[in-house]
Amino acid sequence: MSGLLIVTDAWHPQVNGVVRSLDRLGQELTKQGIDVNYLTPLSFKTVPCPTYPEIRLSLTLTRGVAKKIDEINPDYIHISTEGPLGFLARRYCLKRGKAFSTSYHTRFPEYLAARFPVPVSWSYAALRWFHNRGRCCMVATPSLKRDLEARGFSRLCYWGRGVDLGLFRPREKKVLDYPGPLLLYVGRVAVEKNIQAFLDLDVEGTKVVVGDGPQRGQLEKQYPDVKFLGLHEGEDLAEIYASCDVFVFPSKTDTFGIVLLEAMASGLPVAAYPVMGPLDVIGDSGAGALDEDLSVAVKKALTIDPQVSLDYSKQFSWEACSRQFWSNLEKDGA
């Protein structure tokens, strides 16, 4: 049995697309006979990340990470995040002459620039240094691959995403009783998600926000008519999706957007900007509406037959996603 170690600074109890993707990836690979282990902040003392207290930063040194990796002794090492554990695992691999792969989940330079006066070029230089020493760097979409190649990233390959079609599905029972149509956002409530572009829309219906984050308190006071439901997962989250009419995705910095798949699998057409992520996931499929004017996109999405979005979502399976990931490792000997 082949063994895989996934090194990630993003892990439970965080709730985001990276954590959900890595967790489900491990479940699917285990079904396929792979021995999957994780190296996460749960193995070390941590401190809260500035401006993101729910994100825990590991307090350890190279020898602490090296000890954990030596104990697991994996055949393959995949470094998923560019945090403390990711950097230490990378150092370990380079020092020991061990091959490793990486993946690019988040447009961190844009996130950082939204909060601090750090030039995007500096952040991309650091990320290029981090990823280009791996045997391959996995990206979710063609547009992200083109963008990173233009910035000097090398050895890029595709690793798509999937959705749990058994959990996220249309349901007859509606758990939300607000004036319709119901316009839903699911994700972190943070400045880099551009959520205010959604909340400022002058459109008919009720805006519903599911998720938590540093902007939530401020936005709840600023937008008293918006329904902020907080964090929901699993069955509760799936029921909320199925109770709404359109999914609104205001982000301009996400590289994919797992929530897009969850929404479509629940029968919700998507309204979004024509940017990386929505362009790749939705494109000209007819399962959503993309427009530079988000209110126009919402109005168009409300006219889309939910069955179109539902049918389109069925091509995104976690089984295929995990096989693609494993194929990248075997092909590149990572």
In this prediction, residue 161 carries a pLDDT of: 93
Residues 119 and 18 in one domain: yes
Q: Which residues of the chain have pLDDT under 50?
A: none
Whether residue 189 is found in the same domain as residue 304: yes
Residue 177 lies in a domain: no
| 15 and 144, same domain (yes or no) | yes
Structure tokens at 68: 């954990």
Predicted model pTM:
0.86
Phi then psi dihedrals of residue 266, to 5 deg: -90, 0
CA–CA separation, 38 and 41 (whole Å):
10
Backbone angles phi, psi at 173, to 5 degrees: -75, 130
pLDDT at 334: 56
Domain that holds residue 237: 182-313
User: In the prediction, which pLDDT does 27 show?
Assistant: 96
pLDDT of residue 333: 57
Together in a domain, 323 and 258 = no
- Give the integer Cα–Cα distance in Å for 99 and 44: 24
Tell me: do 324 and 213 sit in the same domain: no
Residue type, 164: D
Same domain for 230 and 268, yes or no, is yes
What are the structure tokens assigned to 222, written together? 């600023």
Contact (Cβ atoms closer than 8 angstroms) between residue 116 and residue 71: no
Pair (60, 157) in one structural domain: yes
Within 13 Å and on the Cβ side, how many CA atoms surround 171?
Answer: 20
- pLDDT at residue number 89: 98
As given in the structure block, the two tokens for residue 250 are 């205001």
| Judgement on whether residues 143 and 39 belong to the same structural domain of the protein | yes
pLDDT at 182: 98
Is 260 in the same domain as 283? yes
